[in-house]
Structure 1
Amino acid sequence: MSTYHNLIGGRWTAARSGRVRPDLNPSRTSEVLAHFPESDPLDLQDALEAASSAYPKWRSMSLVARGDILYRAAELLTARADAIGRDLALEEGKTFPEAKGETLRAAAILRYYAGEARQETGEVYAAQDPTTLLYTRREPLGVVGVITPWNFPIAIPAWKIAPALVYGNAVVWKPADITPLTAFHLAQALVDAGLPEGVLNVVYGRGSVLGPVLTEDRAVRGISFTGSNAVGRGIGIACATRGAKYQLEMGGKNAVVVLADADLELAVEMTIRGAMRSTGQKCTATSRVIVEAPLLDAFTEALAERCRGLQVGDPLDSATYMGPLASADQQKTVLDYIRLGQEEGARLVTGGEALDPSGYYVAPTVFAGVNPGSRLATEEIFGPVVAVVPAASMDEALQLVNGSSFGLSSSVFTRDLGKALRYVEEVECGIVHVNSETAGAEPHVPFGGMKESSSNSREQGKSAREFFTQVKTVYMDRPASV
């Protein structure tokens, strides 16, 4: 069985503690896939020193040369997509087609930012004095920290690390501790593509041990984080206290609204995709379905029937629609919310139980008659659980969607263009879908939420440049002798 190490200063280096922890297969919890370091703050300090040393030379390299490295890494990910997808499915639990698709999405993200290296890097302005050349230039922040979650262990790191690198920053990356093998594959592709030593450093271990060190070190000029609200708020406070930039993408309680004129079959299918793919472990997953009264019974019955027919099992089996949850903690959390929903008086229509005891499986679950103020309807569950909430009208549906403290993604199903446009205008979410699932994002457009779902920042597309660079304004005048 392989034992992997931290990437520090261009070398795969064992943790100073000598401790390792197992990388488990959530579909067969008795299977250990590999061992990874249990790092401590000293390992992180080594990584920060390596990044600080590598930064000046990396910053001086041309954008185009940096982009070429990303392009080569994208080609390597594409060539290795089957192997990476298999490892991702084994350690995270999503099905192989989803895992391979995520790997190819990471490659697409790298290609996009390789192309951004050939875009404008500043602007020229008219000056009061016609002899003055007045312009701006974008410069990197310096050393940045990246903290990523386990649910998209290659796509989310790619959409943070690629722009950080192409714009000239050096990176210290703390990947999620339950998906370290996928993180290794992304780092190895960048190394094999020719990334200079020390420009990207990867330190494995527990976030509770490494996170505070990374966020509080004054050498780190920015932190990009995706994860829970509790951790995100702590990072924001720590960074604000010392004047560092921070970018937080956090929770969601994403709602589908099904209006009375909706295409019922389409609404059911898209709700299933949004709620059950990746076992509901997406920040953009569908968690609430708000259904206008005339369609309520038919929609609920069709949704439950469709859920009963989903195959849950081995993520490498081509017939599997939904794999296991990613960890024992995730399974316990989801089962606790299912019990809570029943205690709150919601009606369990289907699912609600743990399945194959060899892995962290939970049946696709649908609740009906859910109180919109209940915990089941207001708190992020991060699992295959859908709460169906009735609404008397579109007005009430909008009120229910906007009543959430979160505002990441939402969908509306309707045949009425006017209602669709009104929904887009009035819903308080950073991402809005019309007649499609709540999940899914393309790499060239901004991604992020409103309210407690984010720090009012955006990722991906050109928005990433706003975070990973700083603007310098230059007034250039001729010498008096000229």
Structure 2
Amino acid sequence: MKDFLSKLGIKHENSGTSTGQEFLKDVTSEKITSYTPSDGSEIATVYETTKSEYEEVVQKSQEAFKEWRMMPAPQRGEIVRQIGEELRKYKEPLGKLVSYEMGKVYQEGLGEVQEMIDICDFAVGQSRMLYGKTMHSERPQHRMYEQWHPLGPVGVISAFNFPVAVYSWNAMIAAICGDTIIWKGSEKTPLCGVAVQNIIGNVLKANDVPEGVFSLITGGREVGEWMTTDERIPLISATGSIRMGKQVAQTVGARLGKTILELGGNNAIIISKDADLEMAVRAVVFGAVGTAGQRCTSTRRLIIHESVFDELKDRLVSIYQSIKIGDPLDEDTLVGPLIDQDAVQAMQNALKQIKEEGGKVITGGEVLENMEGHYVKPAICEVKNHYEIVQEETFAPILYLIKYSSLKEAMEYHNGVKQGLSSAMFTLNMREAETFLSHRGSDCGIANINIGTSGAEIGGAFGGEKETGGGRESGSDAWKAYMRRQTNTINWGDELPLAQGIEFDV
């Protein structure tokens, strides 16, 4: 077994269920085998969570909430601070595991762990800033204010492409708010969940934190449905496809629960005739091929002014033909494998549909049959924005080139999809930049000027509009989603005046 796996406490067989300090293992449980997409070899196995184990996790989470919510928020922040310090110790081996199990290159694996560290730092500060407001009452000798209370157990369902970072965006903020957390990671990357739980468990044990504050469950769709239908879990934060998100929204909404949904992206960059093309090319390449096109913020569509279209296309084709594809743990590799064979097939189906609809594959798209693992060449295609396949999100490195002649036309193309996550424009024209960021510009949750669509910082709220789900995680005031608002009025006088001047004598 590789050295970094043993450092993280990964064994040949691992329990996928934990209440924080303790791992549960039901001998009747099914096993999930984790394979590395780099060469298809088996890494280790993880026991799925059984229904009885799930019940134990939820009960422990409920019990822990009663104690955790009473701890002052800055003290909860201190626990999160220590988790950040523990993650610093394990940054290298955890980054390697993310790369090995998911397939993103090692530098991106390290970056993902750094995001975990950064959100811990952010959450520590936020633990002293869970502010409410005071308002002036219309009634004499009355004081009005609002305060925020924790919700209870929070369910976090994360996806394979960011197997650790997105969990931490939710968990660390929810924790300082006084919530307990139940995490179900992707069944495609179960070892990342086990490793993170081992790291957090070190801190929980050292501080005698009650079992159930940070819990882990493992499994497929059925395990996720246990969470979404469970009235004991008031909030579900789910990251995944639009199809999955609609099911979660309907299920949780039917019981009047709360959701934070981070779903598909069909992200575009507009390249103006006034763009700095050198900067634009670098941003486009990283956004399109980073994580092998498997980021929700990956650049899918490039909307290029007709005057610079051919020049930019030629430069991109030249770069794509020299990109090194291979082992994600090799420091020289820029593009690793897709997650599995289904992802490879989905890409091939998309390329076929592009041709059927009248588009052209300019370069790339081939499956690298001579390499073990799920490797493909990133593709560049010339298309029309209205093509059905362009309207969808294919989770693979396919970049669509679309030509425009006016800013009005570019914005129509840009906003003319059902997803609304991340967006960008490259221009040195102030009027164009301000238009893109105005209410008649980008309709996405994230809009950037002269940087790409990918690579959000934790200080800003992350999320999108339209069928991306409308959720917000991470920075800014995203903490409010993990709490309930309460308005309070105190009468400190000796009379009982009614609002709106109503007279009601008894």
> What is the TM-score with the length of structure 2 in the denominator?
0.91
Q: State whether structure 2 residue 461 is matched by structure 1 residue 451.
A: no
**Counterpart secondary structure, 1:205:** coil
Does the CA-based 8 Å contact 2:20-2:216 persist in structure 1? no
Aligned residue in 1 for 2:128 = 118
The structural deviation recorded for 1:225 is 0.7
Q: How does 1:19-98 map to 2 (within 5 A)?
A: 19-29=30-40, 31-98=41-108
**1:472 alignment partner, SS class:** strand
Q: Shift of the alpha carbon at 1:434?
A: 0.9
CA contact (8 A) 1:69 1:190 kept: no
Q: CA RMSD in A?
A: 1.6
Q: 1:359 aligns to what?
A: 373
Q: Is the 8 A contact 1:414 1:435 kept in 2?
A: yes
In structure 1, the partner of 2:19 is 8
Say yes or no: does 1:217 pair with 2:230. yes
Q: Would the aligned equivalents of 1:16 and 1:39 in 2 still touch at CA under 8 Å?
A: no
Unaligned runs of at least 5 residues, structure 2: 1-10, 496-506
Shift of 1:479: 7.9
* Residue among 169, 172, 175 paired with 2:182: 172
**1:122-133 correspondence to structure 2 within 5 Å:** 122-133=132-143
1:413-458 CA distance string (max 9 Å, x none)? 112111111111112111111111111111121111111112x232
> What does residue 293 of structure 1 align with?
306
Query: Deviation of residue 16 (structure 1)?
Result: 5.5
**1:76-475 → structure 2 map (5 Å cutoff):** 76-194=86-204, 195-206=209-220, 208-355=221-368, 356-368=370-382, 370-425=383-438, 426-454=441-469, 456-475=470-489
Equivalent AA in structure 1 for residue 462 of structure 2: F
Separation (CA, whole Å) in 2 of partners of 1:345 and 1:477:
71
Q: How far apart, in 2, do the equivalents of 1:54 and 1:302 lie? A: 57
Where 2:120 maps in the other structure, the secondary structure is helix
User: How much has 1:463 moved relative to structure 2?
Assistant: 2.9
C-alpha separation in 2, matches of 1:107 and 1:186: 12
Whole-Å Cα distance in 1 between the matches of residues 149 and 33 of structure 2? 40
- Distance apart, 1:480 and its partner CA: 5.4
Following TM superposition, the consecutive aligned residue runs of length 4 or more in structure 1 with deviations greater than 6 angstroms are none
Q: Which amino acid aligns with 1:26?
A: P
Q: C-alpha distance in 2, partners of 1:34/1:332?
A: 25
- State the alpha-carbon separation in 1 of the partners of residues 21 and 298 from structure 2: 37
Q: Does the CA-based 8 Å contact 1:7-1:202 persist in structure 2?
A: yes
CA distance in 1, matches of 2:494, 2:448: 59
C-alpha contact (below 8 Å) 1:308/1:364 kept by paired residues: no
Aligned-residue offset at 1:9 = 6.0
| 8 Å CA contact 1:70, 1:190 repeated in 2 | no
SS at structure 2 position matched to 1:382 = coil
Q: Secondary structure at the match of 2:250?
A: helix
Q: How big is the shift at 1:342?
A: 2.1
Instruction: Tell me the CA shift for residue 387 of structure 1.
Output: 0.8
Structure 1: runs of 5 or more not aligned? none
CA distance in 1, matches of 2:100, 2:150: 37
Please tell me the residue identity of whatever aligns with 1:469: M
Whole-angstrom distance in 1 between the partners of 2:190 and 2:107: 20
Q: Is the 8 A contact 1:261 1:415 kept in 2?
A: yes
- The 8 Å contact of residues 95 and 316 in structure 1, kept in 2 or not, is answered as yes
Report how far residue 28 of structure 1 moved: 1.0
- Verify the 8 A CA contact 2:95 2:110 in the aligned structure 1: yes
Report Cα offsets for 1:308-340 as digits up to 9, x if no partner.
110000011111001001122212211221222
Contact 2:113 2:165 in 1 (8 A): yes
CA distance in 1, matches of 2:141, 2:348: 70
Which segment is superposed worse, 86-95 or 124-133?
124-133
Query: Once the 2 structures are TM-superposed, how far is the Cα of residue 341 of structure 1 from its aligned partner?
Result: 1.5
Shift of 1:393: 1.7
Normalising to structure 1: TM-score of the pair? 0.96
Contact 1:40 1:209 in 2 (8 A): no
CA contact (8 A) 2:20 2:197 kept: no
The answer as to whether partners of 2:290 and 2:335 remain within 8 angstroms in 1 is yes
Cα offset, 1:35, TM superposition: 0.9
Contact 1:16 1:43 in 2 (8 A): no
Distance 2:26 2:253 in 1: 30
Give 2:400's aligned amino acid: A
Q: Secondary structure at the residue paired with 1:248?
A: strand
The one-character-per-residue Cα deviations of 1:367-394 (angstroms, maximum 9, x if unpaired) are 12x0211133211011111010111222
The CA deviation at 1:461 is 1.3
8 Å CA contact 1:17–1:39 kept in 2: the answer is: no
Aligned letter for 1:226? T
Distance 1:19 1:26 in 2: 22
Alpha carbons 1:412, 1:433 under 8 Å: kept: yes
Question: Which residue identity lines up with residue 120 of structure 2 in the other structure?
Answer: L
- 2-side partners of 1:9 and 1:257: how far apart? 46
Change (3 A) 1:267 1:334: same
